[in-house]
Structure 1
């Protein structure tokens, strides 16, 4: 039976997109379901297995596709951060009968953003992680499981630094900063004594505040506020350390492309964050690189990776254009 289909799966912390394409680059069907991460599902890996096997069976049956007609599949799944977790998810996917690759979802940014399929992705969104793939197909992830692995970025972490700057000013001998007025007004308080309650009752319980506070921080840095500038520079340094660890650890033959993903990278406006990030990468690696924001949805990376596995080489320029511009992907 001719192997004429590929499957791409982009599984995040809130939703999972399954996409069936032909090897010619045409979309057959897609399915959006909830998260399939063991970190989200109450039943852990047991429930992950149940749901992923059910999802794949449903999609194939719905489209009258036999498993033997699927040439390859690529899974980018949130929460696959350690070798033990990778081993468990492979044990599940082996039961599908598919020829597949699987990794943390951060790798999809590389496949979506780098035409060669080789490079590094720095994610700075809700959380943070860096991951890379070199010319030999070796993969390295730096960070992704918390502070112990250098996850010193991401929306809530950044917002916490801004709030702490205000708390430091009032109670910990901190320097004056224009963040004080902005954040106190945002919390709808005037008395510094009320700040502790605001942090406990408002900030910690409402992650929706993060975006606004991060914007305040970057605006303050853009206005050359010394406290904000110091915070942004250290954020850039920490992000650069993770990326530089990927560069040095993967021993790229040339200068790798660096794609930036996550809302803090792609939507926030703070030139200092990017410029100091590049300076720090040069300091750690000796390489002058030009990181660029991801402009293609990560799910496209899953389809492109599956196609790469199916044909044993990266998608051609024409294939990339056809897949990336597919209406289904654009509307996800």
Structure 2
């Protein structure tokens, strides 16, 4: 096929037959001869090159690929698909991102403004929308600077990095090491039983190994199981926030009203015993086929060494293809 594509340049579709003295032919012959004579060195160099190609994704722990690898579920099938058309949603997620300077969202001024935004949008909750009398105990907790807790049976909740400081302005002002506080509370759970991982409450993250080092934005998320009126209350509060915003901050959209949204279908399926057995059988069949084909080779010095080499090359090639 390539010779037909090169026809306009060569004027013929016949394959090229270089002479034995041609430099390209001599170079390939020299390479093949050297590889055959130094086969062990060739295998070692190939494995080293494969490792080096995968270096940014595996060993460079502050790379985005490494961050995704750490958060990848190891025992479930997950998929997310955007859905076209109008369909009823099971859960609506509304987010607000608070940015400071580039990659400097974990700053006292930005965190202080994020707390102000959270108070304006969520505050004591949505009891007025749900028609529920405020709980005196929860009101007392709010007066003592606690995060507004979702009452049992209510179908809404929120997710915020300010929960690391219990949504308290006093604790926020007294903290002298924000990163240490965040990294020491990565296992903290919200009222929705969702772990407050830095990868879910910050955007534009940078890690050093498993420790958060910086972020570009603070992410506050409201989860709503399609409660009537809650979305309208959020929009009213967003509009009021835009009207009363301090002059040294900007909001997008300028009126605080988001006019479009996207619908996604998220599937979460734990791996069953049958899935594990099927994967194991697939690997065993593949390995058996490779071994059977290898047994037909004659010029092999060490079968065990060849198997180890093939396994290592397949492993590194798979990682290189998927992650790098």
Relative to the length of structure 2, the TM-score reads 0.23
Which structure is larger by alpha-carbon Rg, 1 or 2?
2
Bigger RCO of structures 1 and 2 (CA < 8 A, at least 6 apart): 2
